[in-house]
Structure 1
Amino acid sequence: MARLLIGVDSSNIGCIKITKNNADSPYSTEDTAYGKFSFNSKWETNVRFVGVDQLNYGGGSFAEFLPAGTDKSSFQRARTAYSTGVVSLYWKSSFWAGVEYDLPVFDMKTVNDAGVYTYGRISTGAYGYQGRTTVFKHLWNEEGGYVNSFFPGAGNYINVAIPLSLISFATSGVHKKAVVWNLPGDETAIKDPPLAPVPGQMQVQITKDFCRVSKPGYDVRVATASQLAFDSSRRPVKVVASGDIGLPTGTTSFDFSSFLAGINVSGELIADVIQYKGSTIYFPCTPPTDDDIYGAYYQIVGTSIVFTNPGSACRARFLIISQDNTAASVGSNKVFRQLSIGGQDVFQFLRPGAANPPNLADVIIDSRWPVLQIVKTGVFGIPDGANQQTVVNFDSTGLFPFIKYFTIHGAGEPNDSQTGSSDATGLGKRIRLPYASAGYYDRPSQPRVRFTPGDSTYCTLTTNEARFFTNKTLPLRYELEQTQVNPGYTVKTIGVSCPAYAIRYYILGIPA
């Protein structure tokens, strides 16, 4: 049974803490015993979403600027397309209310017309003379990334520079859902870390009008968003369910309805999924080969996540995250309540005036759902050379670890395959989701030549180590180019433009 502390702990600091097990006192358990806490307001930052939004593919040639009445300069979201079958999608930072960083952490989820997420599979692309170069890649490489400035090019409907924007691309029947987190994705430090406690300072405020707690050293009554551990409008990311399961060929379903008992499930639930092969956890995926194209599609159906695997067996490590931006319900629930649900003692912090039962969006904290915490974060420079390894050590004792990381790129002219758009003529600094890739080229009557693209990265994850593999300075790919002299072709080297120079990583965890 979980235990709760509201008040002063053994360090004489005002806080709210939740330990997972009855044997662990929230008053005296060391804050560094990460695996024992479902929530601790003394953590450096509260991991939270600032928004989720989906922009869909549209056929033909068009330019759509949102909200209605805006134009190519004043839009917050936009979709533009010629008759090329690719729709360019843009989200300005001004769309994401509450984001505090120029280049924030984000996810870009690929979803089809039926609401099935498809980005987990490996895809292939053919290049050059007779399509003799094949690259196997994780679908995330279709994303342009989060940039501090972007000029789409004179051939685009938007022919003015776009500041601070998230860029993606959609194709027929395939749409994009952006998820933005209030964490920095580049070298920027996390805002407002905990400070030394101030005697007499108020840090917890639970009334009929307020439900909020500040980080140590900040007065809850005047604290800014980044100085709060939580409040009713800035709810931390709560993990409703998690798992690491095998995915044989066919359909596999994971039912998490028991974790949502007593809740009116409104809005939507977000799944964060890593798919990999074998016993070693890889992110974003196990490096692909031409011998084994793998990966399952998934969909949240009610209170189950359903995987459909058309290929070879693999595994999925996933988090089901409570995310709901619907309006507050109306009722008379107190901001803090204790109750029994399914024979389990539960306590909840709710938005003021929530209904009974509360909506998913009303719940700030539920003792059944651990809050996602940062075990370790940092930035390292990417070394030159093939298959370079950078090791990050951490302690995830008692935790179910998860990982996110981003490649950081300087300004310059991107490869078309790195943006999805032939109209792009310039990017400022940007961060991108990582992807793993591999390739080969076939010369007529010659052995196959395999290569690793220079912008391919991935990492392996254990309970105490994240090992990053990078390939900076290698070519993006090789292509055959037709010539008029024997043997009728040459092998052309395509270099990586705007190569990544660093990686920002987050080791995340919830109690196991």
Structure 2
Amino acid sequence: MSTRGFIGLDGSGVPMVKIMADASYDPLSTPDTDWEKHRFNSRNTEYSYIDDIIIWPRTVTTYYPAGCNSSNYVLKCESGGFVFCHAARAIAYYGFLPIIEHRYIDPTNNKARIYRDDTLTNGNPNSMAKVKQNSGIRTTSAYDNLNNHPDEMVSQFGAVASPYCAMSIVTRFPCDRDYTALSTPPIVGNCFFVVDEKRGYARISRGAVDARTAIASQCIVHENQRPLTIVATGSTTLTAGQTQVIALGVDVPDGSIPYIIGAAAGNMASFSSPSSAFLVDASISGNNLTIVNGNAVSITVFYNVMVQNQQVPTTGGSGKILFTDEGEIKMLRPGAASPPVPADILLWSEYRYCPVVAYGKVADMLFSGTPGVSTPARTYTLAVPALDNPPIILTALQKVGADANFNDGDILINANWASSAFGVTLQLTNWWVYDAAAHTITFSVNDTAGSGWVFRYFVLAVPD
């Protein structure tokens, strides 16, 4: 793929760095709000970052970081697979309040398994996403007819087969604990962009900060951090039992993580109320994505392939830091070895860097419906910018005040729904549906525990 880029001052004298998704897009005249046309745009200074990838041991309650216990953990994974984060301790440990994605993975090859048991009391710990089921054959109370939801739920049952383990991805955003943006306009005279091999600098500053003296959190790109990176995105429908191999058409690093999202009634969605058995495998082999539909019905899924693995940055290299050659733009960490690992590649025109286009927190009182009532769920509809590609949507619920089930400040990661013949729910379940045509996301919360929570969300645009 050939691209175009720009490093310099725009027509107003403001410094910027742009990498376009195609050579036909003019970096100077393309509006910043054409999110999908920019692989990277320093004027969209709100990006997401990944600070930790945690692989949890199977079937035991575990605390993080190492050495923590039930009284001082930052994160914990219970034996059934429920993952929680304690907000105050997370701020002390990370310096920010993360939203954490939760997936199930084979740590030997990063194959993602998405699975659901189908017994009558099939508790739904570790829910992942919901997919559209193209069949109406599910009619028994063991599935969902009592709740009139014919959509499959993608999830992970606690008894998943070895070697699959729970995996948590700790995300970071350029905002304070109250989700107020930290970025500020650039100041004339400050160094905005610096590449210095001798000093080991490779930085694009976030705003009114000199890149030569900035720390990582003050930069969009820094030799010690890079924005969350996607190498491929798309959607597909699989027939019952089908194995589908998708040629991604780009160089996919070893260990990249497939990120599967479902659909409901044609709209991208997380998960919803009790539903039937479900099994999907997704893995990367070479430059191909393989998705296996283990169900007796046709399904539709969305996918993103994250350029992220657990390899640490390399050292000892002495090559170029900034490449601009034959329609390619690449920025490496100073000292990166050859070939570089994903953590060494700070920017590359082959990759897609996903800007934050909406974020915030919503108090429980702003959701419609009655607190403490399980049906119907309480909802909040958010208007988002018009997006050509399905976005990445990250959410969490933060408990306010302790009770028998949660500590004060606990953040529920992918809060869960338990189903039975009577549609019993776990406390503080949440899910969402993205309506691309209406440019809205409807967030739903089942708060049988009553009020006393804050809903947090981030919406990331995915470039072409």
Instruction: Answer whether TM exceeds 0.5 for this pair.
Output: yes
Residue 334 of structure 1 and its aligned partner are, at CA, apart by 0.8
Name the amino acid aligned to 1:384.
G
Equivalence for 1:392: 382
For residues 136-175 of structure 1, give each alpha carbon's deviation from its aligned partner in whole angstroms, at most 9, with x where no partner exists.
636339xxxxxxxxxxxxxxxxxxxxxxxxxx99767352
Please give the alpha-carbon distance, in whole angstroms, between the structure 2 residues aligned to 1:194 and 1:318: 33
Q: Distance in 1 between matches of 2:427 and 2:83?
A: 26
Q: 2:269 aligns with which of 282, 287, 292?
A: 282
Matched, 1:350 2:337: no
Shift of the 295–354 alpha-carbon distance from structure 1 to 2, 3 Å rule, reads same
Instruction: Tell me, in whole angstroms, the C-alpha distance in 2 between the residues paired with 1:414 and 1:15.
Output: 51
Residue 307 of structure 2 aligns to a residue whose secondary structure is strand
Report the alpha carbon displacement of residue 287 of structure 1 after superposing the two structures with TM.
Answer: 4.0
Q: Distance in 2 between matches of 1:323 and 1:294?
A: 26
2:15 paired residue number: 14
Distance change (3 Å), C-alpha of 1:245 and 1:89: closer
Counterparts in 2 of 1:187 and 1:458: CA distance versus 1, 3 Å: farther
CA RMSD of aligned residues (A): 3.9
Taking the aligned partners of 1:240 and 1:22, their CA distance within structure 2 comes to 18
Q: Rate the CA distance shift 1:92–1:379 in 2: closer, same or farther, 3 A.
A: closer
Match in the other structure for 1:413: 403
Corresponding position of 2:233:
242
CA shift, 1:220, in A, is 0.8
Match of 2:320 in 1: 334
1:288 Cα offset (Å): 3.8
Matches within 5 A, 1:85-234: 99-101=94-96, 103-111=97-105, 120-123=114-117, 134=121, 137=124, 139-140=126-127, 173=162, 174-183=164-173, 188-195=178-185, 197-208=186-197, 209-234=200-225
Contact 1:407–1:500 (CA<8 Å) still a contact in 2?
no
More strand per residue: 1
**Alignment correspondent of 1:433:** 413
Q: Aligned equivalents of 1:229 and 1:439: distance in 2?
A: 43
Q: 1:95 to 1:465 in 2, by over 3 A?
A: closer
- Contact conserved, 2:63 with 2:73, CA < 8 A, in 1? no
For the residues of structure 1 that align with 2:382 and 2:90, how far apart are their CA atoms? Answer: 34
Q: Does 1:305 align with 2:260?
A: no
Q: How far did 1:191 drift?
A: 5.0
Quote how far apart the aligned CAs of 1:238 are.
1.4
User: Match of 2:381, as an amino acid?
Assistant: V
State yes or no: 1:362 paired with 2:344.
yes
Change (3 A) 1:2 1:190: farther
**2:148 alignment counterpart:** none
Distance 1:80 1:391 in 2: 30
| Equivalences for residues 486-505 of structure 1 within 5 A | 496-497=448-449, 501-505=453-457
8 Å CA contact 1:66, 1:75 repeated in 2: no
Cα 1:454–1:497 shift into 2, 3 Å = closer
Aligned length: 419
Deviates more, 1:23-32 or 1:306-315: 23-32
For residue 40 of structure 2, what is the aligned residue in structure 1? Answer: 39
SS of the residue corresponding to residue 507 of structure 1 reads strand
Report if the CA contact (8 A) 2:98-2:170 is conserved. yes
Q: Which amino acid aligns with 2:444?
A: T
C-alpha displacement of 1:188: 1.9
Displacement after TM superposition at 1:306 (Å): 2.4
Residue 335 of structure 1, CA deviation = 0.7
Shift of 1:368: 1.5
The 1:46–1:401 alpha-carbon spacing in structure 2 relative to 1, beyond 3 Å, is closer
1:209-228 Cα deviation digits (max 9, x unpaired): 32111022221122232220
Query: Could you report, residue by residue, the CA deviation over 1:185-212 in whole angstroms, capped at 9, with x for unpaired residues?
Result: 99622452223x3221111101223211
The 1:9/1:97 distance shift into structure 2, 3 A limit, reads farther
User: What's the counterpart of residue 373 of structure 2?
Assistant: none
1:264-279 equivalences under 5 Å are: 265=253, 268-279=255-266
Task: Give, as a single letter, the amino acid of the residue that structure 2 aligns with 1:318.
Answer: Y
d(CA) in 1 for partners of 2:321 and 2:294?
Answer: 46
Q: What are structure 2's unaligned runs of at least 5 residues?
A: 129-155, 371-375
% identical equivalent positions:
18
Structure 1 pair 310–414 and aligned structure 2 pair: CA distance change class (3 A): farther
1:184 deviates by 8.2
Q: CA offsets, 1:368-389, max 9 Å, x none?
A: 1110111211222333332443
The alpha-carbon distance between structure 1 residues 440 and 328, as it changes in their structure 2 partners (threshold 3 A), is closer
| 381-390 or 210-219, larger mean C-alpha shift | 381-390
CA distance in 1 between partners of 2:357 and 2:393 (Å): 10
Change beyond 3 A, Cα 1:49–1:8: same
Q: Does 1:252 align with 2:244?
A: yes
CA distance in 1, matches of 2:210, 2:187: 9
Structure 1 unpaired stretches of 5+: 127-133, 142-167, 416-425, 442-448, 474-495
For residues 456 and 66 of structure 1, the distance between their equivalents in structure 2, rounded to whole angstroms, comes to: 26
* CA distance in structure 1 between the partners assigned to 2:344 and 2:91 by the alignment: 20
Asked if 1 retains the 8 angstrom alpha-carbon contact of 2:37 and 2:463, the reply is yes
Alpha carbons 1:45, 1:190 under 8 Å: kept: no
- The answer to whether structure 1 residue 466 and structure 2 residue 461 are counterparts is no
Structure-2 separation of matches of 1:467 and 1:80: 28
Q: 1:318 aligns with which of 296, 300, 303?
A: 303
Q: Which residue identity does 1:310 align to in structure 2?
A: G
For 2:213 and 2:298, locate their aligned partners in 1 and report how far apart those are by CA, in whole Å. 53
2: CA distance, partners of 1:63 / 1:23: 51
**Distance in 2 (alpha carbons) for counterparts of 1:92 and 1:504:** 14
CA contact (8 A) 1:213 1:229 kept: yes
Q: Is the 8 A contact 2:48 2:174 kept in 1?
A: no
Paired residue type of 1:106? I
SS in 1 for 2:223: coil
